[in-house]
């Protein structure tokens, strides 16, 4: 049955909003990959860098049980260090979050040992959409009020196309109160008024190392990366052969609810999905009609296939129709409007309403006393 124009418009709008959010998150991960590339492959920066960590924990002595988790940490010789945080756009909580990074005095090594930041310390705060001057004024007002020992540098990162190819472009925000980075090769690149690009050909070399940023992943991105990178690692050899030959599983993959925490460990991934990310992914895929929750059996059933088909009522997507991410998000938008999931706690039992028993017809004569 054909859908009304109003419903089709709702599907289109929801798809466009969700895909825009997905694309912005993808640019953030591309920016992390670009930083990872220049740290590893640009000789001048590589030689001055002691180590980097894209899953850092920072804190002050006495607060080890509640560390902060920015997106990156870079330590360079002789005495330079950078804490990196990337955002899409301004949020009212940014002031509190960023000043808390400035207050941190140490970073935690893998074994829990605290190491003080270098003498020349910097907080790098990147935005895709640069905040307005009023928001930047509020940020630097609080930064200076806290008398931070580190410098705060706000920069913009963007995905740009040019004759030489696509790139992620970094540029320091020309705000009068903006700080400056320590004078290493890496710091001078950030400080440059001209900015600098990292081509897609380069950052794509390490792009697969980032399945999320350190703190969180949006549900659509979690769903796509789980479907394309993680799902096959749950399969037996027989199921892998089945997928390779027919492009789909004849019998759905089953993931028990009490086994979701056992996330496959993928090799050579700097920031992988966590169990909470996998739950988020499965719920998104459930709304997209690719996963079913069997509450009584307490399992997720995954209808795994290589070719994801679109519903007849899906949003128009033009040239991107073969992109797996676009297809999954389109299915999610379509079924969110036409077949929204009911919210019910996992494992909750269905209850039947009690009906009063019909005593039958009333006798037409008086009952004995």
Mean pLDDT of 307-312: 85
CA 218 to CA 167: how far, in whole Å? 23
Burial of 343: CB neighbours in 10 Å, binned 0-12, 13-18, 19+: exposed
17-209: what CATH class? alpha beta
Calculate the average pLDDT of the chain: 90
Sheet with strand 291-294: strands edge to edge: 253-256, 299-302, 291-294
Indicate the pTM of the whole model. Answer: 0.87
In the chain, residues under CATH classification 3.40.1350 are 17-209
pLDDT digits (tens, 9 = 90+) for 157-193: 999 987 778 999 999 999 999 999 998 999 999 999 8
353: Cα separation from own chain's centroid: 42
Map residue 83 onto helix, strand or coil: strand
169: enclosing H helix or E strand:
strand 167-172
pLDDT in tens, 84-124: 999 999 999 999 999 999 999 999 988 888 999 988 999 99
Which residues, 6 or more positions from 168, have their beta carbon under 8 angstroms from its beta carbon? 27, 30, 31, 34, 157, 158, 159, 160, 197, 198, 200, 203
Return d(Cα 314, Cα 280) in angstroms, integer: 22
> pLDDT above 70 covers what percent of the chain?
91
Which pLDDT value is given to residue 313?
75
pLDDT at 228 over 60: yes
Query: Are 289 and 331 in contact, with CB atoms under 8 Å apart?
Result: yes
Q: What's the whole-number mean pLDDT along residues 222-233?
A: 96
189 and 34 Cβ atoms separated by less than 8 Å: no
- pLDDT number for residue 4: 78
The b/e string for 199-212 (b: 16+ C-beta within 10 A; e otherwise) is ebebbeebbebbbb
**What's the token pair of residue 72?**
């990156």
> 305-338: buried (b, 16+ CB within 10 Å) or exposed (e) per residue?
eeebeebeebbebeeeeeeebbbbbbbbbbbbbe
**Residue with more model confidence, 315 or 321:** 315
User: What pLDDT sits at residue 348?
Assistant: 45
**Helices and strands in the chain: count of H runs, count of E runs:** 10, 13
């Amino acid at each position: 049955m054909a859908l009304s124009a109003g419903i089709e418009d709702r599907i289109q709008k929801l798809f466009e909003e969700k895909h825009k959010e997905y694309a912005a998150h993808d640019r953030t991960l591309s920016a992390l990959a670009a930083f990872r590339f220049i740290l590893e492959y640009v000789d001048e920066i590589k030689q001055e860098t002691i180590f980097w960590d894209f899953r850092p924990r920072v804190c002050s002595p006495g607060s080890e049980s509640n560390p902060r988790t920015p997106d990156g940490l870079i330590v360079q010789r002789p005495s330079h260090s950078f804490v990196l945080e990337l955002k899409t756009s301004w949020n009212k909580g940014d002031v509190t979050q960023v000043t808390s990074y400035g207050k941190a005095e140490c970073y935690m090594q893998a074994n829990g040992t605290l190491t003080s930041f270098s003498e020349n310390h910097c907080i790098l705060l990147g935005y895709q959409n640069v905040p307005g001057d009023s928001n930047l004024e509020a940020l630097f007002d609080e930064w200076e009020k806290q008398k931070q020992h580190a410098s705060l540098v706000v920069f913009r990162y963007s995905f740009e196309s040019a004759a030489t190819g696509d790139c992620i472009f970094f540029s320091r925000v020309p705000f009068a109160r903006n700080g400056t980075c320590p004078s290493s090769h890496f710091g001078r690149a950030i400080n440059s008024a001209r900015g600098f690009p990292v081509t897609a050909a380069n950052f794509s070399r390490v792009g697969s190392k980032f399945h999320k940023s350190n703190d969180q992943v949006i549900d659509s991105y979690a769903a796509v990366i789980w479907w394309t990178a993680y799902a096959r690692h749950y399969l037996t050899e027989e199921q892998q052969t089945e997928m390779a030959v027919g492009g789909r599983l004849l019998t759905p993959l089953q993931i028990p609810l009490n086994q979701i925490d056992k996330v496959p460990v993928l090799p050579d991934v700097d920031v992988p999905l966590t169990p909470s990310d996998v739950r988020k992914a499965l719920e998104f895929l459930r709304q997209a009609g690719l996963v079913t929750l069997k509450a009584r059996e307490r399992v997720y059933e995954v209808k795994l296939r290589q070719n994801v088909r679109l519903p007849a009522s899906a949003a128009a997507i033009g040239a991107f129709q073969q992109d797996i991410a676009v297809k999954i998000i389109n299915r999610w938008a379509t079924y969110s409007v036409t077949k929204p999931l009911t919210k019910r706690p996992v494992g909750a039992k269905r209850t039947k309403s009690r009906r009063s028993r019909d005593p039958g017809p009333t006798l037409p004569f008086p009952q004995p006393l």
